[in-house]
Amino acid sequence: MISMDDVAAKASVSKSTVSRVLNGRTIVSPDAREKVLAACCELGYKLNPNIQELVLKSRKGFTRNVAFVMVEREFGDPAYAHMIDSIARVVNEAHYQLLLVKLRGDETNIYELPPILRDERIDGIILTGELNKNIIDTIKMLDSKCVVLGNYSERLLNGLGNIRQTTDNLIASMMKELIHSGKRRIGFAAEVPENYEVMSLFKTYEEVLKENGLRFDLAICYFGKKSNSGVFDIMLPVMEQPELPFDSLVCPDNRIAREISHLLFGHFGLRKPIDVTLATLRMNSYYALPVPTIFANIDMDGYVQTAMRHLVDQIENNEKPRTISMN
């Protein structure tokens, strides 16, 4: 069996240099790194994962495993799918391993958690989804560090690290663009009105209307019934009317905006121009809608990189959890 000593001899470097290269340490010269990697390839060297885990645990107490934990949401949800791609990239760059874990949302103690969390076979957790007090309290029972992705009440998170987006500024910016283009009957559509971020964005929506001398009309504000319910059934009777009561709609959730874009096509047909403009957030510039739309782009890579950096700082440097707002 090829050993690390064999690789070191082949590359003419020390065994510690080989270890640093294979564990992603940056204090190695590019030349030494290339020699080590070339020697590994030539010799067919393979790390023994069991030994690696034992070494990591014995030396620093780290497993180098992190879990992306989704609560009561689907990994395929467009609001989260691109997030997973970004997380996978930054986790690989940090030389950690990523595990995907899904929770129902009704867990109330650590013994209801999946074994990977319950038995603390991870160093840290990136947490998001439909969070509630029971989930937060249960996660805090674990010895693993945690960073929450998304906009939630600080009272709910109760001291957990949190990376949040200043989406209210993005909503305000899109609304001002709608107003500048001549829109005056600006509606609002979201899935769950009780959601903390939706409530915050709805407040921003009201404030921007008032700041620009426009009337707030609850009759053109549309909300779904529960999480993952969409707004199709709510909006269908509206779209069946001969004249729509709004000339634009603010839809923070891109998935909801897509539903409404299909209904707008049904209302206007293929031959009539669609004179309603949507305003929505998106996590990648290739997301597009087939109707007039104003987009505000979220820097998902920067968002996730900040979360992972804060998590690693908690794990390796014992940094205290904090809230970081991303512009």
Q: What is the CATH number of the domain that holds 146?
A: 3.40.50.2300
Q: What is the CATH number of the domain that holds 36?
A: 1.10.260.40
My answer on whether 173 and 243 are in the same domain is: yes
The residue range of the domain holding 246 is 167-298
- Tens of each residue's pLDDT in the chain, 327 residues: 788 888 889 889 888 888 888 766 667 888 888 888 888 888 888 765 554 444 444 445 678 899 999 998 888 876 677 788 888 888 888 888 899 999 999 988 787 888 888 877 899 999 999 999 999 999 998 888 999 999 999 999 989 999 998 899 999 999 999 999 999 999 999 998 888 899 999 999 999 999 999 999 999 999 998 877 889 999 999 999 999 999 999 999 998 999 999 999 999 998 889 999 999 998 877 788 999 999 999 888 888 889 999 999 999 899 999 999 987
My answer on whether 150 and 270 are in the same domain is: no
Concatenated DSSP letters of 207-268: HHHHHTTPPP-GGGEEE-SSTT--SHHHHHHHHTSSS-S-SEEE-SSHHHHHHHHHHHHHHH
My answer on whether 161 and 217 are in the same domain is: no
This prediction's pTM: 0.74
Q: How many Å is the Cα radius of gyration of the chain?
A: 24
My answer on whether 98 and 211 are in the same domain is: no
Is 41 within a domain? yes
My answer on whether 141 and 176 are in the same domain is: no
My answer on whether 179 and 287 are in the same domain is: yes
My answer on whether 183 and 232 are in the same domain is: yes
Distance, CA of 9 to CA of 149 (rounded, Å):
45
Residues present in the chain in total:
327
Distance, CA of 53 to CA of 63 (rounded, Å):
6
Is 228 within a domain? yes
Is 226 within a domain? yes
Is 111 within a domain? yes
Is 178 within a domain? yes
- In total, how many domains does the chain have? 3
Provide the pLDDT for residue 23. Answer: 67
Strand partners, 189: 222
